[in-house]
Structure formats: C-alpha cells, structure tokens
Amino acid sequence: MNKKMVPDLFKKVQMGPNNPKWEQSMQRGKQFFPHEDKPDETRSPFYRDYSRILHCTSYRRLKHKTQVFFATQNDHICTRMEHVNHVASISYTLSKFMGLNTELTQAIALGHDLGHSPFGHEGETLLSEIMQEWDGTFWHEKNGLYTADKIATLPNAYGIHKNLRLTYGVRDGIISHCGETDENGLFPRVQAIDLEQIERPNQYMPYTWEGCVVKLSDKIAYLGRDIEDAIELNLLEPDRLKELNKLLRKVPLPRGAEDNKPMVANNTALIELFIKDLCTHSSPEEGMHFSHRYYDLLVEIKEFNYQHIYYHPRLLYYQEYARCIIRTVFDFLDKFYNKDLLGSIEDNMYKFPTLLRYFKEWLIKYSSLDLSSRKQAGFENDIVYDVTDPLQYKRAIIDYIAGMTDNFAIRVYHEIISF
C-alpha cells in the first residue's frame, strides 16, 4: 500500500441536507400517513429507521437463522444476526473514516438481511423453486424490502401495530446490498427508481454512497468469519489452512505489521486488510474500490470458501434435510385451503398447536379473513393478502415460512411428522 489513507474524502457527497438526493432519500412514501411522521428532537430520520429495525421481530429472529451452518448448537458459530452486526460495524468504520452519514449506513446494515429465510441460501433457493411453480420469484434482497415494507411491524405507544415506514434511502440500501456478486469500483446510481420494480439481484447500484459502503461491507464481513467457523467445526484440514494462509503472502501488508510474523487468514486480519485497502484507494472520482491485488485476494478467498466450506459434504447432507423441512411445511399448510379456512385451521389446532396457532395469527394480521379479531389484536398494519385467491394464500405460506428461524422450522416439522 504505497498510497496514504486520507479521511473525509467523501464528506461533500455524504447523504445530508446539501446533497441533491436528500429529499428523495428521506421520503417515506405517499401511501403512509404524514401526520404520524412527527418531529423527533432526539433522533434523526435515519436513526429512527435504525431503531425501528432493531426492535421489530423480523430482526430478532435473525439470531436463530443460518449464516452458513444450519441450526447450529455451538454458541460460538456465527448466526445471521451476528453477521448483520459485523456488517454494521464495518460499515460504521468505513463511513466514519470516509466522511459519510454513519446513521444511514447503520440503518441499512441492520436491515440488509431482514429478508433471509431459515437455512440460509438453501432455504432461499427452495422457496424460489416453490414460487416458480406459479411464476413467482423469491430472492432475499427483494424479500428484505418486502419484509421492511409489508411484514415487519412495531406496536406504537398505544399498543397498535404499524408498518415500519422506512425512508427511501434505507429501503434502497436493503434491496441493493447484494454482496454475492464480484465487482470493483462502485458508484451510486443517479436516478431514483421504483424499488418494487427491481427484478433481480444486483440489477442496480445503490442510490447512495452509504448504500455502496454496506454492499462492500457485506462482502468483507462474511469471508473471514466463515473461515473461523469452519475451523471451529473442524471442516478445514491443516493443508487447507496452509493453502489459505499462502494467499495473504501475495499482498503487501499494512503499515505497522510486525516483521517476520505472517498474518493468518482469520476475521481480524481480513477485516483490517480490506478496510484499510478500501479506504486507501477509494474516492468520489474513482469510486469505492480495492487495489487490484486486494480485489484478486478477495475473489480468491471467496472461491476457496465456496470450494472447501460452502460445498463441504457435511453441509450438503444438511441441505437435503432443510429442503425436506421447508417443502413439508409448505405442502402441509397448502392443503388447508378451502372456503372455511379459519374453521379448518381451528379444527386441527389441537393436533398441530404450534404451527397452526401462529399461522392463524399470521392470516389474521396480514389478511381480511377476520377483521374483528384483527382489530381486537391491534393490527393496523397493511393488509397484504386476499386469501380468497389461492395464489395469494400460497404467498402467505411462503412469507410465513420465510420468517421462521431454523429452530422454529425444525420444531413445526417434527410436530407434523410426529405421532
């Protein structure tokens, strides 16, 4: 690293009142209720978004959703919530140094994986396959926006459940965060678009520089931690670790690295190296990017992880189990569809109390099946489904499953198959 890191290079383009994108980024949408958007003397709009995400149940469930290793019983293995917090930490470091809006990056980072299903990307793949049977699509970035807009709710000071109503800047960062693709040199897009019309992951760059920070932080966050988890679970042989550590020798170490003490490819080393390299080489004129050597390193480590961790036979065995669980729960609930839907669920609740109790509450909260019970429960969030349409009923099942934790999905699966 011959170049020197310079702080606050992005300060003039941070998301603030002087940015031409400010008004759009602060927009909460015409479909919401402006009179509820009262001034808050203690929090900015973006920090209010952060708080809303932090306290909603969709965020809480991330603590028992897969990052890489399914339904782990090891307390030291990364879950989806821990990954989200890693992304938030890296995003804060980058945006603080660069002079960007740290509150916006924190809100995007905390909400970026709200749309993940149980069992990680395998669960996401299977839900997509099921939806394709009726020309639907499911991918976690799109579902993250859908969850933030329609599914996640909070009770207000009077116990009435409302939608989160996040700002455009945060919503855009959620659907635009795709960290699985490889690109170097990120610039935010110029135009505001209808986010609900985005059709595939990585179709558009984020609208803000802050969204670009989260997109890159997502990539940095999972590489090293997935390696540490694989070591903890004895998935990597000593020769594999040697192969991995050799990759670090291809790049120059940062100033202050100890002589004659080679770094090892763990979370601490990789996060430090990539953050410093990104801060050294990024500018508003050249975009956010790594040096060529560090970008190549990032791609090589990612390829190593795919070959030796994500496609490890032990994970492949569990993927079949996860697919069986999700398919079974979907098919089971789909068979309840009839003219007396709630009555049919009630009649069978004594046999499947956990699965059907919460599914009934789901239908009451997000459909017009029982408006009296909905009002009594204080649900004033948007009605999402017209379950007189069988396809919308199927979508209700998909969303119910997508919101489950690994542990809850396993629990209700065993409730179905146990006698």
Name residues whose C-beta falls within 8 Å of residue 175's C-beta, 6 or more positions apart in sequence.
Answer: 141, 142, 144, 145, 195, 198
Backbone angles phi, psi at 352, to 5 degrees: -130, 65
Q: In this predicted structure, what is the pLDDT of residue 73?
A: 86
Query: What would the mean pLDDT of 349-353 be, rounded to a whole number?
Result: 97
Residue whose structure tokens are 């004129």 = 285
Whether this prediction's pTM lies above 0.85 is answered by yes
* Residue 91 predicted with pLDDT over 80: yes
Residue 138 CA, distance from chain mean position: 13
3 band by pLDDT with thresholds 50, 70 and 90: confident
356 touches 348 (CB < 8 A): yes
The residue among 291 and 36 whose pLDDT is bigger is 291
- Report the mean per-residue pLDDT for the chain: 93
pLDDT in tens, 61-79: 999 999 999 888 899 999 9
The residue among 178 and 405 whose pLDDT is bigger is 405
Cα end-to-end distance, the chain, whole Å:
64
How many alpha carbons lie under 13 Å from residue 232 in its C-beta half-sphere?
A: 17
- Most distant CA pair in the chain, distance: 74
* Residue 183 predicted with pLDDT over 80: no
pLDDT in tens, 296-316: 999 999 999 999 999 999 899
11-114+152-310 has which fold? Answer: Hypothetical protein af1432 (1.10.3210)
Query: What would the mean pLDDT of 187-195 be, rounded to a whole number?
Result: 97
**How is 32-60 classified by DSSP, letter by letter?**
S-GGG----SS--HHHHHHHHHHHSHHHH
* Residue 263 predicted with pLDDT over 90: no
136 band by pLDDT with thresholds 50, 70 and 90: confident
Locate CATH 1.10.3210.10 in the chain. Answer: 11-114+152-310
